[in-house]
Amino acid sequence: MNNLLSRGAIAAIFRGENVSCPVLQLLACKKMNAAASGKAVDRYRLMLSDGEHTCTAMLATQLNEMVSTGELDVKAAMKLKNYSCNPIANDRRVIVVLDLDIVKKGSEIGVSIGDPTPMRAPGQGGAAPAQQQSRPDSTVSHDPPQTARPTSYGTGAPASATPNKQGTFYGQSNSAMGGSTTSPKKVQPISSLTPYQNRWTIKARVTNKTAIRTWSNARGEGKLFSMDLLDQSGEIRCTAFKDMVDKYYEMIEIGKVYFVSRGTLKPANRQYTSINNDYELTFNNDTMVEPCVEEDVSIPAVQFDFKSISHLEDTPEDSMIDVIGVCKSTSDLTAVTIKSSNREVNKRSLQLVDDSQKEVSLTLWGKEAEDFDGSGNPVIAVKGARLSGFGGRSLSVLQNSIFQVNPDIPKAHHLKGWFDSEGHSQDSQSISTRQGSGGGGGANTNWMTFHDVHAQNLGQGEKPDYFTVKGTILFVRKENCMYMACPSAECNKKVSENGDGSYRCEKCSKDYENFKYRLLLSANVADSTDNQWATCFQETAEQLLLKSAQELGSLKDQGEATEKEFNQVFQDACFIDYMFRMRIKMETYNEEARLKCTCVSAQPINVRDYTNKLIKDIRLMASA
DNA sequence: CCCCCCCC
């Protein structure tokens, strides 16, 4: 038992030695109540022992759960895989435990090992204070350091006046702007950074962090990630390349505060960022990033610089802007094939409205599009959306954007109140004239009757035409409404039966043991003027039939037993009204030109939108 | 040193 602890480790750490993975015993653990201390989260104060000395430590909040679950109990022996030793007032030190492994549970040990006495900071002649962290690749040291010397107690110079061996030191109590008088190295505001100085330290919150991305071009290849840093004075975008990615990617967490010192500052290109700074920061070999272990509420959270939607009309295309609005409606999820890369990606458009009574279309991509739920008209805030010129003006959420749903900020509450009380019933004008496939029904929808569609020869051009029509389902074809599709999530291609119970997908060039049903439904849609056959793919077809492809497939598979029920599905789908968003295009099939109409979305009639359309029609007739 | 961010 006596060999369990790293004897002498605490003295060595206090002298500034790099003690790797010391094993210490937890003698006491006290919860510092968050509410009482005015902090955001509870903190645990620990008393640790190496068998010779005890010292005070704080548990990093991400490890709080180890205490609350009982995993870390009093008398436990723990290996400090990552920690820092920081000076506090009166030359005292506190160890902050950043990562640990339990070596033996307290319930198994049961006693305090050795007869430790309280450790105090080294005095004059002692080594510098440590701000070091153990390296993950260093060897585990259970043995007491061979170099251990008798601890000298005394009244030396303030520990915090001595830089450590890395040459930097910052008191953890510094504010972002001034720094305490005991700190030799001032933390300076982000807004003061320029390329013309190279020794600086900032204390900033990470407000955004990208995934690691790789690139390969004529100038070489590599990987990078970028992050946004914020303090009271401003913000800056930082990028880490290659080695720096390995060094810092894991450490950086969104929302946390870090000390960052040194790095390369270069002019920012506003085309690629909405971060309000003339410069960007690139990490280099001299860059040091260290987590600030105490949550500092004086370092603010995400900063927006919202532009009203009406303002976007006269903002240049391709600008990066911050926007906030109520999500008035959303389109269905649609898959888009990217021409350049032949990749498929999901997208969804939202219609945002604000109290300038203007609407704009905002496109989400990939997972953000898939996960988005617009029910209940949430407030959407985006930092760093790209303003495109499509259909007038529309917005796109990029990788670097911060996308927030119902953010807890005053402007969001204001807009929600506005929308609930009056905005929802007011007319708003979209600055995105051609909407995504959403159909919408807003002021700029191109409403058509089938008569007009045919009379105006829509779909004859090179590009397909889109229109919205209020129509009624007259008939849906049950024959061939389903096909056996490749079971792989990304592939929906038709499979063929191999005859041995397996299924062949030619697109994947692969045999599968199963398949999934996909719907490909022909529906005859009519309004008072004419009718049109339209093709409905999976999602819209499921919507019109009020059944999933899987359910319908199972009814079909059961044959006669469920034939009646199967047929009923198609009966029930008829004579229901929808607002259809249609795509129409003339296509040549077996040397025969045929007008192909695809239903992009079908939505229940929005009475307000449809009534507005009728009122407009009536006004037009009256003025004619 | 990235900076592509897609589609209608």
User: What are the residues whose beta carbons fall under 8 Å from the beta carbon of A403, sequence distance 6 or more?
Assistant: A364, A368, A380, A381, A382, A397
Report which of residues A476 and A32 the model is more confident about: A476
Residues above pLDDT 70, as percent of chain A = 86
Domain with CATH 2.40.50.140 in chain A: 9-118, 190-291, 309-430, 450-613
Nearest CA-CA partner of A362 in A381, A346, A343:
A381
Six-digit token string for A604:
């229940």
Q: What is the mean pLDDT of chain A?
A: 84
Neighbours of A358 (CB within 10 A): 21
- What local confidence, expressed as pLDDT, does residue A124 receive? 44
- Domain A309-430 sits in CATH at 2.40.50.140
Q: Which residue's CA lies closest to nucleotide B5 at its C1' atom? A: A398
Please state, in angstroms and as integers, the Cα–Cα distance from residue A444 to each residue in A314, A328, A331, following that order: 19, 15, 15
Return the CATH fold of A9-118. Answer: OB fold (Dihydrolipoamide Acetyltransferase, E2P) (2.40.50)
Question: What is the per-residue pLDDT for A89?
Answer: 61
pLDDT band at A587 (very low <50, low <70, confident <90, very high): confident
Q: How confident is the model at residue A64 (pLDDT cuts 50, 70, 90)?
A: confident
Does residue A213 reach within 7 angstroms of strand B, measured from its CB? yes
Task: Name the closest residue (CA) to the C1' of nucleotide B4.
Answer: A215
Closest listed residue to residue A320, CA positions, set A228, A193, A438, A242: A228
pLDDT the model gives residue A122: 65
Least confident range from A38-52, A54-68, A187-201, A428-442: namely: A428-442
Strand B closer than 7 A to residue A338 Cβ: yes
pLDDT value of residue A31: 87
Which nucleotide C1' is nearest A395 CA? B5
Give residue A40's pLDDT.
Answer: 57
Q: Are A144 and A8 in contact (CB under 8 A)?
A: yes
Please report the pLDDT score of residue A536 as a whole number.
94
Q: Which nucleotides of B are covered by protein (CB under 7 A)?
A: 1-8
Q: Which CATH class is domain A190-291?
A: mainly beta
A257-315 pLDDT, tens digit per residue, is 999 999 999 999 988 999 999 999 999 999 999 999 888 889 998 989 999 999 999 99
Q: What backbone phi and psi angles, to 5 degrees, belong to A534?
A: -135, 145
Q: What does the block give as tokens for A472? A: 């009624």
Residue A174: its pLDDT value, please? 42
Closest-approach nucleotide to residue A213, Cα vs C1': B2
Residue A621 has pLDDT above 90, yes or no: no
Q: Tell if A363 CB is < 7 Å from nucleic strand B.
A: yes
CATH architecture of A450-613: Beta Barrel (2.40)
Cα(A39)–Cα(A295) distance, integer angstroms = 8
Q: Which of A241-255, A297-311, A442-456 has the lowest mean pLDDT?
A: A442-456
Please tell me whether any atom of strand B lies within 7 Å of the Cβ of A521: no
- Joined together, the tokens standing for residue A281 give 């920061």
pLDDT of residue A125: 40
pLDDT band at A246 (very low <50, low <70, confident <90, very high): very high
